[in-house]
Structure formats: structure tokens, C-alpha cells
């Protein structure tokens, strides 16, 4: 079975290709390297010992995208990661996000329809829930999005649902909570460009000495230790869920053409707990200070993953310490390069 992976050179896409190849799927991937590097492709091949096809394609370029997909034979399903993901940038450059994430997805769906490809797994996000009462299940209300980025995920889910109602398209939308960590080989991982926005790369970069101090954004929240709570999930667990979603789509009947699943651990951890986990696995005393709250932060969120456990037959394998250990190993490997 051949799977097209868009954004295949990216953080989650690269880990997912490894899992697909290891499970015996054929893969064809595309990326425009807007937020990734061609060397990732060789590292995926080294880890898996397998080859896959790749083309440098921009999903905003409808002509190029359609030509590429029409040249492929026997694509059974698409896993669609390609998108821009920086929340702050999306506030400053909303049109970039609507063009890349929404128009890019529409282009992809058009190309799929023209070529009779009827299955898609879509990268959605827990950001669609905004500030909800955890544990959050898939029936939680979807409030007005807090950022253009979040809005693109809400809109794309609606586009996919409408297209599944109108055609034979079958959709799985996966709402990731906070993906962290890296492959155990330390050959692939997250490659934040510039100063990281996300907590875990900021911690590991501070641990290695690339950043002087981590600032904890507020410790006066109504949580046990005053810092915000998130559901941090190992990227390999996220990747394995995509293989489960592909299996699920292959089995699923047309009566349920649009399914949504949370991907988390079901466990919430505070910023200070993540720092403690890092210190425990690395033996490094992290230089951090408490700063003011970061505007727009959700106080606490973690997933109810019962639906994914029951219907995808998937469960996480890694805990927070294992995830932090893999993130640290990756940062150390990067430092040697």
C-alpha cells in the first residue's frame, strides 16, 4: 500500500515515514523545505534501511502539485502534514497561514479527487479546543480560534468534513496535543529555526548552553504549582498513531467518513514538572527563572484519549521522562554537528 506524505521532511512527518516504512508501507513524500532540510530524507533512509520516493513540491502551486500526484501510481491514502505552524507568526502574517494551510489543503483535496484518492489523515491540533476543562474529549466545544493558525486547523477540519459529505473521501483528523522528543537513533528530531517558541526545545537548548536562561512564563496560574499544564506526547507515539489511522481508514466503512481523534497521553504535566523530568534524565541543572505570563497561554489542557484507544487500537508507549531523554539525546547529537 502506497502512502503520500506531505511535509515529509518535517518533524512529525519524518518520524511517521520511519514508522510507515518499518510497517511495510511504500511511501512517496513531498516537501518544499520551508521549515526542514533535505538531509532529513537520508537520515530516514538510514534509520529504516529502506528507500522511498520524494519530490520537492509546494502544495500552494496547484499545477505542480496536480502534475506530481497524477504522475504517481497507486496512492492509496495521503497523510497531510505540510503546513506552517508558528502561532505568533500567524498573528503577524495571517494570509501566509490561510494560503499555506487552507488553500494548500484545498489544492491537495482537488488533486486527490482528480486522481481518485479517497483517504486522508490530517494533522489537526488541540489548539482547536482553546481553553477547555480537561480531560478534553473530541466532543468538547470548538470556540472561536485564538490565532489565525488555530483558525486554519478549524477551517481545514470543516473543509475536510464537507468534502467527505460530498464525495467518497474518508477522513481521519488527528488532534495532537504537545508533541516532543525525537527518534531513539537521534538521527531525526525537531529542528526549530531561530529561537524556539516551544518549551522542550527551549529547555534542551538551554541545557546544552545555546541559550542562557529559560523563562517560565508565569507561576501564578490556578494549578498545583502555579505553572501551565499540557499533555506532552512522544513524537514516535504520534507517528505510530498515523499508521493506526491508515489501518483504520482501510477498514472503515463509508457510513463514518469523517473521524476525529485526540492524540495525547491523557496526562497533564506542568512546566516545572517538565523541567524536573529534564533535570532527572540529563543530570543537568537547568538555568531558569520565573517570568511574567505569556499572552494567550491556555492555563491547562490534557486529552481524554479513550476514543483513539478504542477505535484506533493505539496507546502511547513513552512517558514524560523517556520523551525528555530522547529530546536531550537529540540536542546532544545536534551539538556534535
- Positions marked active-site: 149
CB 77 within 8 A of CB 249: yes
Indicate whether 179 belongs to the interface with ligand NAD (CB under 6 A): yes
The residue (of 17 and 214) whose beta carbon lies closer to ligand WQD is: 214
Only one of the segments 65-73, 154-162, 214-222, 278-286 lies at the binding site for ligand WQD (rule: CB under 6 A); that segment is 214-222
Indicate whether 123 belongs to the interface with ligand NAD (CB under 6 A): yes
Indicate whether 34 belongs to the interface with ligand NAD (CB under 6 A): yes
CB 84 within 8 A of CB 100: yes
Rounded Cα distance between 56 and 8, Å, is 10
Nearest Cα to Cα of residue 32 among 95, 105, 86, 84:
84
Place of cell 506531505: 6
Which set of grid coordinates corresponds to residue 301? 489542557
User: In the window 272-311, what residues touch ligand WQD (CB under 6 A)?
Assistant: 294, 297
Indicate whether 125 belongs to the interface with ligand NAD (CB under 6 A): yes
CB 169 within 8 A of CB 258: no
Work out whether strand 75-80 and strand 53-56 pair parallel, antiparallel, or are unpaired: unpaired
3-state SS string for 239-278? HHHHHHHHHHHHHCCCCCCEEEEEECCCCCEEHHHHHHHH
Indicate whether 228 belongs to the interface with ligand WQD (CB under 6 A): yes
CB of 199 to ligand WQD, least distance (A): 4
Which set of grid coordinates corresponds to residue 323? 520523551
Indicate whether 216 belongs to the interface with ligand WQD (CB under 6 A): yes
User: In the window 68-127, what residues touch ligand WQD (CB under 6 A)?
Assistant: 85, 87, 125, 127
Provide the mask over 72-111, with x wherever binding to ligand NAD is found by CB under 6 A and - wherever it is not: ---------xxxxx--------------x---x-------
The residue (of 199 and 236) whose beta carbon lies closer to ligand WQD is: 199
Out of 14, 118, 178, 322, the residue judged to bind ligand WQD by CB under 6 A: 178
Q: Return the ∠ at Cα 56 (arms to 51 and 57), rounded to 5°.
A: 125
Rounded Cα distance between 143 and 150, Å, is 10
User: Using CB distances below 5 to 8 A depending on partner kind, what does residue 132 bind out of ligand WQD, ligand NAD, none?
Assistant: none
User: Using CB distances below 5 to 8 A depending on partner kind, what does residue 257 bind out of ligand WQD, ligand NAD, none?
Assistant: none
Q: What's phi and psi for 234, nearest 5 deg?
A: -65, 135
User: Containing H/E element for 82?
Assistant: none
User: Using CB distances below 5 to 8 A depending on partner kind, what does residue 12 bind out of ligand WQD, ligand NAD, none?
Assistant: ligand NAD
The residue (of 216 and 260) whose beta carbon lies closer to ligand WQD is: 216
CB 137 within 8 A of CB 306: yes
Q: Which residues of this chain interact with ligand WQD, rule CB under 6 A?
A: 85, 87, 125, 127, 178, 197-199, 202, 214-217, 228, 230, 271, 294, 297
Amino acid at each position: 500500500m502506497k502512502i503520500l506524505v506531505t511535509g515529509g521532511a518535517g518533524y512529525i512527518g519524518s518520524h511517521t515515514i520511519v514508522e510507515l516504512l518499518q510497517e511495510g508501507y511504500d511511501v512517496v513524500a513531498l516537501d518544499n523545505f520551508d521549515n526542514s532540510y533535505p538531509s532529513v530524507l537520508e537520515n530516514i533512509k538510514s534509520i529504516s534501511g529502506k528507500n522511498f520516493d520524494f519530490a520537492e513540491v509546494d502544495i500552494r502551486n496547484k499545477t505542480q502539485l496536480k502534475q506530481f500526484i497524477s504522475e504517481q501510481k497507486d496512492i492509496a491514502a495521503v497523510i497531510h502534514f505540510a503546513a506552517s505552524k508558528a502561532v505568533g507568526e500567524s498573528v503577524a502574517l495571517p494570509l501566509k497561514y490561510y494560503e499555506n494551510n487552507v488553500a494548500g489543503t484545498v489544492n491537495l483535496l482537488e488533486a486527490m479527487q482528480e486522481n481518485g484518492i479517497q483517504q486522508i489523515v490530517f494533522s489537526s491540533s488541540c489548539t482547536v479546543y482553546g481553553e477547555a476543562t480537561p480531560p478534553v474529549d473530541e466532543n468538547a466545544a470548538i470556540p472561536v480560534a485564538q490565532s489565525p493558525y488555530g483558525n486554519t486547523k478549524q477551517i481545514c477540519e470543516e473543509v475536510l468534513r464537507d468534502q467527505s459529505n460530498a464525495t467518497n473521501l474518508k477522513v481521519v483528523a488527528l488532534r495532537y496535543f504537545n508533541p516532543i522528543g525525537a527518534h531513539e537513533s537521534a538521527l531525526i528530531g525537531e529542528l526549530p529555526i531561530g529561537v524556539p517558541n516551544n518549551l522542550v526545545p527551549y529547555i534542551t537548548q538551554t541545557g546544552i548552553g545555546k541559550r542562557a536562561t529559560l523563562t517560565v512564563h508565569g507561576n501564578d496560574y490556578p494549578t498545583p504549582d502555579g505553572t501551565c499544564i499540557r499533555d506532552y506526547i512522544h513524537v514516535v507515539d504520534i507517528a505510530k498513531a498515523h499508521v493506526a489511522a491508515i489501518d483504520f481508514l482501510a477498514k472503515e466503512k463509508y457510513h463514518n467518513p469523517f473521524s476525529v481523534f485526540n492524540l495525547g497521553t491523557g496526562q497533564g504535566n506542568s512546566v516545572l514538572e517538565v523541567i524536573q523530568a529534564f533535570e532527572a534524565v540529563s543530570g543537568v541543572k537547568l538555568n531558569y527563572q520565573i517570568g511574567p505570563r505569556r499572552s494567550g497561554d491556555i492555563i491547562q489542557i490534557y486529552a481524554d484519549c479513550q476514543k483513539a484507544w478504542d477505535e484506533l487500537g493505539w496507546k502511547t508507549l513513552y512517558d514524560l521522562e523517556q520523551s525528555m531523554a530522547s529530546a536531550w539525546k537529540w540536542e546532544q547529537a545536534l551539538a556534535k554537528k
